[in-house]
Amino acid sequence: LGDLIGWEQSRLSHQLRRMRGRGLVDREGDGDDRRGATVALTEAGLAALHTAAPGHVDLVRTMVFDGLTPAAQREFGAAVETVLSRLRAARSTD
Write out pLDDT tens, residues 11-23.
998 999 999 999 9
Domain ranges of the chain: 1-41, 52-94
CA distance 61 to 9: 32
Task: Give the max Cα distance, the chain.
Answer: 54
Confidence of residue 88 (pLDDT cuts 50, 70, 90): confident
Is the pTM of the predicted complex or chain greater than 0.85?
no
Cβ proximity of 27 and 41 under 8 Å: no
**In this predicted model, what pLDDT tens digit does every residue of 53-70 receive, in sequence order?**
888 889 999 999 999 999
Q: Which pLDDT score is estimated for 20?
A: 95
Cβ proximity of 19 and 45 under 8 Å: yes
